[in-house]
Amino acid sequence: MFLEHNVYQPLGNRVDRFHDAVGNSACGVPLVLVDSGARFTCGNVDFEAVYPELVRQAMALPPLADIEAVYARDGNNVDVDVALTNRTGITLGYANWTTVNVMVYELARVVQTSRMVRAAAYSELPGDLPDGQTARTSVRLEDVPVTNWARAHVIVLADYRPEPMQARFWSLQASVAREAVSTATPTASATPAVTATPAPTFPPGSPRVFLPLALR
């Protein structure tokens, strides 16, 4: 799934992830970020050859996390609850910049694709998350400028720095959030919490979700 951003009005931290991966290299649009920076390309390339190869490389990797996410909408405000289960074999947390990212995209052709990101936000884990354990966090997006909610979707993407002293991030996993009726009063900010209970609904070896990002 390719999600499109306006590079001149970036949302969330995807453009930052691109620059983290590229460093000081000169790049022209389109900027294409794959797996949060594990792979990228920019400028005029042989798109029909390069993009499928990036996809094949990404899909060959095993998932490093399981994600279950639900969201509730109040008008144009969206509250997303996320459960992230660590499958890396190491501890995730502040030391390796583990981040839960939420994006709302709409099936609307704006420039090139038909999947335009309308809003994005993120939450960091509040503490260490050992392998096999689950962290739960909530992210709120306010005043999301979706024109037709029947054509909108919510994506959750977790990423981290496999080499904490290097700038490049890698994706752990991505998931499409399912809509649910919210019974809780929304809060104005993320309120993450970590639990030491393994998530029984996430069997190891869950399919890897490929979520590149095109910025134009």
Taking residue 64's Cβ as centre, other Cβ atoms within 10 Å add up to 20
Domain that holds residue 193: 3-215
pLDDT at 183: 52
pLDDT tens readout for residues 50-99: 989 998 999 899 999 999 999 999 999 999 999 999 999 999 999 999 99
- Which pTM does this prediction carry? 0.81
Q: Give me the pLDDT at residue 111, please.
A: 78
| Residue 57 DSSP label | H
- As for how many domains the chain has, the answer is 1
- Quick check: 196 pLDDT over 50? no
Instruction: Please confirm whether the linkage preceding 130 is cis (ω < 30° from 0).
Output: no
What average pLDDT score do residues 137-165 get?
A: 96
Amino acid type, 120: A
In 3D, which of 63, 69, 76 has the Cα closest to residue 35? 63
Q: What is the mean pLDDT of residues 112-124?
A: 92
Higher pLDDT, 126 or 77: 77
DSSP state of 66: E
Residue 177 sits in a domain of what CATH number?
2.60.40.10
Confidence of residue 24 (pLDDT cuts 50, 70, 90): confident
| Contact between 103 and 66 (Cβ < 8 Å) | no
Query: 3-state class of 14 per DSSP?
Result: helix
Share of the chain residues as helix, strand and coil, in percent rounded to the nearest 5: 15, 40, 50
Nearest CA among 72, 92, 94, 63 for reference residue 174: 63
Mean pLDDT value across residues 118-131: 93
Considering only 23-27, 78-82, 153-157, 176-180, which range has the smallest mean pLDDT? 23-27
Say what percent of the chain tops pLDDT 70.
83
Q: Is the pLDDT of residue 121 over 60?
A: yes
